[in-house]
Structure 1
Amino acid sequence: MSHANPVDLVFGGMEKLGPGSDSDTLQVLGMLPKVPHGLIVDAGCGRGRHTLALANRLRNPVHAVDSYEPFLSSLIEGAEGAGIGPLIQTYCMDMADIADRFQGIDLLWSEGAAYNIGFPYALKTWHSALKPGGFVVVSELSWLQEKVPADVRRFFKTGYSDMRSADENRVVAEDAGYRILATHTLPRATWIEGYYDRLEPRARSLLDHPDQAVRDFASETLEEIRIFGSSEDSYGYVFYVMEKV
């Protein structure tokens, strides 16, 4: 019996693979002091909701990097459907290797993906790939308050033990050789609309799936959604808009 891929079952066909929205993506893009042209790389693009938003707005090729081939295939399909196929180039590779493949990057964009290799490591390793004065925009899960409900703190101890406060992340960015130009916190609604509101019923329907791995992934997903509901806005995704110094 072939094992079902839990990620495909839970996330299959979903446009959003994380919190966010096109309007937030474009609002943050507008925080850059000038419009980027030239080499634009989207690191950890997933299905590429934001990749398409960037390419559409900038009318500039976007080089989309992800290590999961099915996501890239669905991005190409989406780009063709949106009539911007020629603007999207995909690379199935690890985002830690970006500096080996690309040099002189004008804008490196990464929504909700840098944690896969660690925020500090991502910023350090990408630094050499950017042209002088190049821009980096990374959204990173961050603590937003000192006061965090106990079960929320407990969840992230295993879920993302390296999570830092927004102020700590500013220091990380400066240490890695960037100047922070602006920040933007994703509104609560962008976690729910088209993401948790679709994910919850799907995960619930998989709780009695014959495959143990699928059941486990489904219940982890539901626990994450429950934690968000009791978070009292103690954490969120913060976009850090940075310039290479």
Structure 2
Amino acid sequence: MSKEHTSIHDFDINLICEYFSNLERQGPGSPEITLRALSFIDNLSEKSRIADIGCGTGGQTRVLAQHSPGTITGIDLFPHFIELFNSKSRELNLQDKLKGLVGSMDSLTFQNEELDLIWSEGAIYNIGFERGLNEWRTFLKTGGYVAVSEASWFTEDRPAEIEEFWMDAYPEIDTIPNKLAQLQKAGYIPIASFILPEKCWTEHFYAPQVAAQEAFLKKHAGNATAEGFIANQRREMQLYNTYKAYYGYAFYIGKKI
């Protein structure tokens, strides 16, 4: 049975990687929001070990590196993202405290209780919120922190169109109280949660895509798959503009018990 609309999961991963490598951020957020979440973390020192899992090209990771002590390892599945991550780290002279490695978030190679902080902006959905919190907890020291942003419902009831979109894109989307309960059940004290403001989507995520989409379509002129991918991105933006009262991203910060 064919679907009326496709989701991002239906497209070639290399095409997706090429498109998002041209953007500063691969998901909703902003430097201010990264710093707001960081303000709830109080255990960091120059000896601290931090991991940014699903770091993309490292927009948020560089903000962390510039405003926190310790060393940071960025992990992402896509080699080109990591190439850009490390290149930009060198440009900013951050290479001594910031290193990107190619790796999968479901087979991390950190030692047990090695990390003081695990960070993940808009990426834990790749493994699933509950699974990620449970599996990554092993790598955190007791008293260490996890800080992740995650797609979340703002209301108990939603219009059918956006409900269907998210059930296809990410069935684990849930309300903020339910996400906090999952965080606690996974063995963390919930320290804070807050909703990302609308401009994290409109100004920092969708607006930069307008020029990127035109360049992408020009490069791939006549490629039906590339055109379909851009149509999918534009539909996602339209859905957000229509239904933003019902969903968005929320940050969740927890402390390992």
| Matching residue of 1:230 | 242
User: In structure 1, which of residues 20, 23, 26 is the aligned counterpart of residue 29 of structure 2?
Assistant: 20
User: In structure 2, which of residues 129, 135, 140 is the aligned counterpart of residue 125 of structure 1?
Assistant: 135
Equivalent-residue separation in structure 2 for 1:94 and 1:4 (angstroms): 14
Aligned-pair distance for 1:52?
Answer: 0.5
Q: 1:75 to 1:109 in 2, by over 3 A?
A: same
Point out where structure 1 has 5 or more consecutive residues left out of the alignment: none
Aligned-pair distance for 1:202?
Answer: 3.6
**1:58-137 matched pairs, under 5 angstroms:** 58-98=68-108, 100-103=109-112, 104-137=114-147
Aligned-pair distance for 1:230?
Answer: 0.5
Aligned-pair distance for 1:201?
Answer: 4.7
| Matching residue of 2:19 | 10
C-alpha RMSD of matched pairs (Å): 2.0
Indicate the SS of the match to 1:64: strand
Aligned-pair distance for 1:21?
Answer: 0.6
TM-score under structure 1 length normalisation: 0.91
Name the aligned partner's letter for residue 91 of structure 1: L
| Matching residue of 2:3 | none
Q: Quick check: 1:45–1:64 contact (8 Å CA) kept in 2? A: yes
Equivalent-residue separation in structure 1 for 2:20 and 2:196 (angstroms): 21
Aligned-pair distance for 1:221?
Answer: 0.8
Q: 1:20 to 1:4 in 2, by over 3 A?
A: closer
| Matching residue of 1:176 | 186
**1:152-191 matched pairs, under 5 angstroms:** 152-191=162-201
Aligned-pair distance for 1:157?
Answer: 1.9
Q: Quick check: 1:19–1:191 contact (8 Å CA) kept in 2? A: yes
Indicate the SS of the match to 1:40: strand
Q: Quick check: 2:50–2:118 contact (8 Å CA) kept in 1? A: yes
TM-score under structure 2 length normalisation: 0.87
Q: Aligned pairs, how many? A: 242
